[in-house]
Copies of this chain bind each other. A is one copy, B any other.
Amino acid sequence: EDELEIAGVRFSSRLFLGTGKYEDMETMREALERSGTEMVTVAVRYMDLSGERSILQELDLSRYRLLPNTAGATTAEQAVKMARLAREATGTNWVKLEVIGDQKTLWPDTGATVEATKELVAEDFVVLPYTSTDLVAAIRLEEAGAATVMPLASPIGSGQGMPDWASISRIVERITVPVVVDAGLGVPSDAAFAMELGADAVLVNTAIARAGNPPQMAEAMKLGVRAGRLAYLAGRMPVSRYAVPSSPTRGVPAASES
């Protein structure tokens, strides 16, 4: 089967979901359900690690692998601490590593992210770092032991799609671990496009949570990801500058000559 493998774990679904920004928990649960996802990310800051009504209790963790994320960290140290807290509280050693270097754009600080990746890998974490479209940063993350590389398509929550797709394509060509396109995807065609370029998976949050009908958009994203993946495996037609007739130029002459 066409499964995705990350750190020895196999996934049938190539769509990962975030859990932020939903109007209510019921809508979130329904969206997760219809998306077919097998992994969801939750901000460590959003887990009420000591208390009662945590988002963690809203998730059926027998169905979804939990991927804590370090949203809100602005230094390697903060991110590392968040990852440790999450491991203690939830038992998972997986972490989506985010170290933000600019608040207006939520652009990642790739230098600090590489540093935190090294530290966390040394502590036996499975690290899935959020990064920019910078090729060499992606290479450094892979060298640091990242389990995947997760370049952004455009700023988090912006829905701008993937304007710098050429850089994503360069990363896909060069990186050996799975490439997960994260952030900025707005519609299923964006997700399909990422998969057609050869991305191994995508992570979507706002595009679903802030859609008019989140569960329906979740299903749309599921289909878009599958469409793009199937197309990648099938092999696309060549692009040509001019037209190429669909119909043979030979054929029954009676019609056109009469």
Contact = CB atoms under 8 A, between A and B. Distances in A.
A219 B18 CA distance: 28
Interface stretch (A6-14, A59-67, A120-128, A163-171): A163-171
A57 interface: no
Contact of A227 (B49, B108, B227): B227
Given A43-B248, A73-B256, A136 B110 contact: yes
Contacts of A140: 101, 109, 111
Contacts of A45: 247-248, 251-253, 255-256
A53 interface: no
Contact of A252 (B49, B245, B248): B49
Interface in A69-116: 69-74, 78, 81-82, 85, 101-102, 104-111, 114
Q: Is the interface on chain A under 10, 10 to 19, 20 to 34, or 35 or more residues? A: 35 or more
A109 B81 CA distance: 27
A160 B174 CA distance: 20
B234 A211 contact: yes
Interface string A149-169: 000001111111001101100
A155 B135 CA distance: 11
Contacts of A20: 245-248
A82 B134 contact: no
A157 B245 CA distance: 6
A19 B253 CA distance: 18
Contacts of A255: 44-45, 49, 70, 72-73, 78, 81-82, 85
A242 B155 contact: yes
Contact of A136 (B18, B46, B109, B222): B109
Nearest to A246: B20
Contact of A81 (B154, B186, B222, B258): B258
Given A72-B249, A246-B206, A159 B236 contact: yes
A201 to B, nearest CB: 16
B136 A231 contact: no
Query: What 5 A-B pairs come out closest when comparing CB atoms?
Result: A212-B235, A157-B244, A101-B136, A45-B251, A43-B247
6 contacts: A69-B247, A111-B137, A154-B166, A188-B228, A211-B231, A217-B236
